[in-house]
Copies of this chain bind each other. A is one copy, B any other.
Amino acid sequence: MREELFAVGDVPVALWAPETPDENRPVILLGHGGGFHKTAPEMVALATRLVAEGGFTVVCPDVPGHGDRPVDEELNRIATANQTRIEAGADIATILAEFHALVALTTVREWRSVLDFVGARRAGYRGVSLGCGLGVPFVAAEPRVRAAVLGLGSGLASREAAAAITAPVEFLLQWDDERVPREHALALFDAFGSAGKTLHANPGKHGDLPDHEIDSTIRFFRRHL
């Protein structure tokens, strides 16, 4: 496997791929979680398996304000204001949904440029938590994405974008998620426009996704890409 680090415009990107080049290889774009970055251990572990077992090219861009990107003063200002609103009793789920929608205005554009840069013709997307909030509008907007694994996200974020998605979706829900109310997660699954959507729910908290879902993710992308 080869690993490359490069930038697409202002966006630092990590790429993992099999040694032998193949321009017809599908590309999986990974959206990392909040507070993580493109080469967090979870991303590298997932990318390694997608390359080794799926034969895919995998790319992971840093989200604004994360990883090797500069501090984003505007996002920080909004995040601080949000924290104040939450302490004043505002609904966390609603505020998080607004924040994801705001950041997605940037990431949808950036991630499409990343697919252009690597010459992707067919792509998959995988993102949970923040990666779901940003992924829903991306998958809705980008016709090269033919399959998506999303999860740990809420129907409060971009319900309309979810309805516009027609690609197959495998959606991961943690039954005891302390951050996303179960009914909000079920509402997001309900909203997806895809005929081929499937929901996988497992016991455990937000951070406790079981390993067998990684196996399932790889099979899902192999089936659809």
Contacts and interface: CB of A to CB of B under 8 A. Distances in A.
Contacts of A223: 212
B200 A175 contact: no
Given A190-B175, A223-B212, A201 B201 contact: yes
Interface string A182-198: 00001001100001011
Contacts of A200: 198-200
Interface string A82-116: 00000000000000000000000000000000000
Contacts of A198: 200-202, 210, 212
Interface in A153-207: 173, 175, 186, 189-190, 195, 197-203
Nearest to A202: B198
A189 to B, nearest CB: 7
The bracket for how many chain A residues form the interface is 10 to 19
Nearest to A200: B200
A173 B197 CA distance: 13
Contacts of A202: 197-199
| Shortest beta-carbon contacts, A-B, top 6 | A199-B201, A198-B202, A200-B200, A197-B203, A198-B200, A195-B203
